[in-house]
Chain A
Amino acid sequence: MSLTRNANKAIDGELVLKDARKLLASRIEAPTRRSFLLRTLSLGGLAMLSGCSLDDNESVEKALMAVSRWNDRVQGAIFQPTRLAPTYTEADITRPFPFNAFYGVDEAPEVDEDGFRLEVTGMVADKRSWRLPELRAMAQVDEITRHICVEGWSAIGRWGGVRFSDFLRRVGADTTAKYVGFKCADDYYSSIDMPTALHPQTLLALTYDGKVLPREYGFPMKLRVPTKLGYKNPKHIQAIFVTNTYAGGYWEDQGYNWFGGS
């Protein structure tokens, strides 16, 4: 962080930051790598970094992302595969359960059940695609758990479906692989670590509160991971892949911590 005390430069720096902030405030919904860089370091009003060039900001961003990768490793190390998230009773369920996405509820994708096929690729033995009735024919489990959003709010809900570890074994997934990735009908995407994918409470959820998973909660299916934050629970899943290549995620690529464990 160069502390050039050139007056003109400092003023320019401030103006640039101010403009950047204005621009970005309206563009929060249109994330790009570049805007992430600016957003991270538009230190609202703090004169701290005035006089710093954007190149310097880039190195600060790099350092922060490196610490975030380190935090992924720490979280992976303290994750206990058999520790269960607390479960709740029917009476604890938050009603109505909040809708949350990077778009409004009216824009939630409409997936046609008849034409739907779940694609399974990557390090799996059986790459054939799945229809919903086939998933419904597998053993179903139901659980009432707390969904915790990265923003700080939380809500208790009831999800039911196939234990994800059952599904992975059924498709002959290589469970020594590092990651399981998800691609969704709303262009959302995310990926999780294999130990979490195999956690007994991680579900390929097909129902919400005993009914077919409604559109606003992620029809036709959502990954329910009670040991991770909400953004690690992708909805409207269309494709699942098993890989050793880091696959990031929609929010993760903008700066949210990848592991996102709770």
Chain B
Amino acid sequence: MSLAANPTQPVTPRPAARGGPAVQPAWLRVTHWLNVLAVVVMVLSGWRIYNASPIFDFRFPNAYTLGGWLGGALLWHFAAMWLLVGNGLAYLLLNLATGRMARRLFPVSPRGILRDAWAALRGRLAHDDPRHYNHVQRAAYLFAILDLAALVLSGLAIWKPVQLAWLCDLMGGFQPARTVHFVAMALLVAFIVVHVAMVALVPRTLRTMITGR
């Protein structure tokens, strides 16, 4: 694995063909898809909750929301939060414990990001080894992790502005915490749009995330 991840080494035949260890381990695939479910429910119910008292000059079309009304949306939101947080913590713990985080998402440097982004724009970025993430991918996945953490923390601040007053203060107060929550949501949705577009460009990665190979 470390050989294949080193770009200076000759590219080895894809391990999938040889039946080696899975490119994406089972725990990663399970937590990924559970996260998809949690995020979809949180975002769509969150839009309905937002509509009850918009902070900006627009509402989300109700047809693209979950819950049917504010109370229903809140039920979904405060149920899916357990899945989001429980699954997210399991993902982080396994990622750290197995060393996958250090192996796949690091190192990452601004120079590496610029280099790989430039190569990608010229169509010269190879991705024949799905075990190796380029620097743009590393930055994007790390961003998604940090953004989800910001979403959870700002969500807790909005849910418990008295019991977790310190967290609410950290967000700048109750109303600013709502804005932080909204912006973090918008950034996550932007990530998802790019992420799904990339999967559409390299469909093999979808199979890898389902079967592991």
Contacts and interface: CB of A to CB of B under 8 A. Distances in A.
B68 A43 contact: yes
Interface stretch (A108-116, A118-126, A142-150, A161-169): A142-150
Given A65-B75, A80-B163, A42 B52 contact: no
A257 B75 CA distance: 8
B-side binding surface: helix, strand, loop or mixed?
helix
B56 to A, nearest CB: 12
Given A152-B49, A152-B50, A154-B174, A227 B162 contact: yes
A151 B52 contact: yes
A71 B68 contact: no
Contact of A152 (B52, B76, B160, B162): B52
A43 B65 CA distance: 7
Interface in A43-62: 43-46
A40 interface: yes
Given A46-B44, A67-B75, A261-B160, A150 B165 contact: no
A67 B79 contact: yes
A233 to B, nearest CB: 14
A153 B70 CA distance: 13
A-side binding surface: helix, strand, loop or mixed?
loop
Given A39-B72, A41-B72, A44-B62, A261 B79 contact: no
Interface in B169-183: 174-175, 178
Interface of A: 21, 24, 28, 36, 38-46, 63-65, 67-68, 71, 78-80, 83-86, 146, 148-154, 226-227, 251, 254-257, 261-262
Interface of B: 44, 48-50, 52-53, 55, 62-72, 74-76, 78-79, 82, 159-163, 165, 174-175, 178
25 contacts: A36-B71, A38-B68, A40-B71, A44-B48, A44-B68, A46-B66, A64-B76, A65-B75, A67-B75, A68-B78, A71-B78, A78-B160, A83-B165, A146-B161, A148-B174, A152-B50, A152-B55, A154-B175, A227-B163, A251-B71, A257-B74, A257-B78, A261-B160, A262-B162, A262-B163
